[in-house]
Amino acid sequence: MVTRITLVEGDITEQRVDAVVNAANTSLLGGGGVDGAIHRRGGPQILEECRRLRASHWGKGLPVGRAVATTAGRLPARWVVHTVGPVYLAEEYEERAGLLASCYRESLRTAAELGARTVAFPAVSAGIYGWPPADAARIALGTVARVLDGGDARAGAELAAVRFVLFGEEMYGVFERARRELLGQDE
C-alpha cells in the first residue's frame, strides 16, 4: 500500500514516530553509523536495556535478520527496534538478501506487537555493511510494501505509516528511484 510508505531525507534520531529502527550489530552494544547516532542521542538507557537483553534472552547476541525492542531513551520516539542486517557478500547473495528482507519483516512485527503505528527505518546494511544502495532500497521497499499489503496480516493491519529516513541526498534519490520502479509513481 504505497500511501503508507514515505521517504524523507534526514536524521532518524529526530523522527517523531512510535518506533525507530536501528541498524545494529549482533552484540547489541553499539557501533558506528546510525547505531552510534541512536545511542548518542538516545542516551545510556538504551545501552542499559541492550546489556540486559545480552544478560538474558540474547546471551549470544541478536542473530542477523532478527529484531528486538528497547526503550528509545531521550529520542522523540517510544521504542528503538534493533535489527541486525547482513554484511554484503556477492557470493552469498540469495541467502543474505533473504536475511535483509527478514530484518524489515521482523522489525515491523516487533513494532506492531508493541502497539506501534508509525515506524521509521534507516537503509539497513547500506552503510558500513556495504550493501549496494539500489538493491538495498529495492529489498527494503518491496518487503515493507508486502507486509503492509497483508503479507503479514497482523503487522500490516496495525501499522499506519512507515517512513524511510535516508541520510543524504544521494541515498534519498536511490530510494526515490527504487520506489518509482517498484511501486509506481504516485503517492
Q: Which residues contact ligand AR6 (rule: CB under 6 A)?
A: 11-13, 23-25, 31-35, 37, 85, 122-129, 165, 167, 171
For helices 33-42 and 44-55, the axis angle rounded to 10 degrees is 110
35 is a catalytic site residue:
yes
Give me the least distance between CB of 140 and ligand AR6, in Å please: 10
- Please, which residue, 36 or 115, has the CB nearer to ligand AR6? 36
Dist CA 166 CA 88 (whole Å): 19
- CA dihedral sign of residues 135, 88, 54, 32: negative
Residue the block writes with cell 552469498: 92
- For the chain, give percent helix, strand, coil, nearest 5: 50, 15, 35
Q: In the bound complex, what is the minimum distance in angstroms from residue 55's beta carbon to ligand AR6?
A: 19
How many whole angstroms separate alpha carbon 170 and alpha carbon 144? 21
| Closest CB 35 distance from ligand AR6, rounded Å | 4
Please identify which of the residues 35, 135, 149, 152 carries the catalytic annotation. 35
In whole angstroms, how close is the CB of 25 to ligand AR6 at the nearest point?
Answer: 3
**Residues acting as catalytic residues:** 35
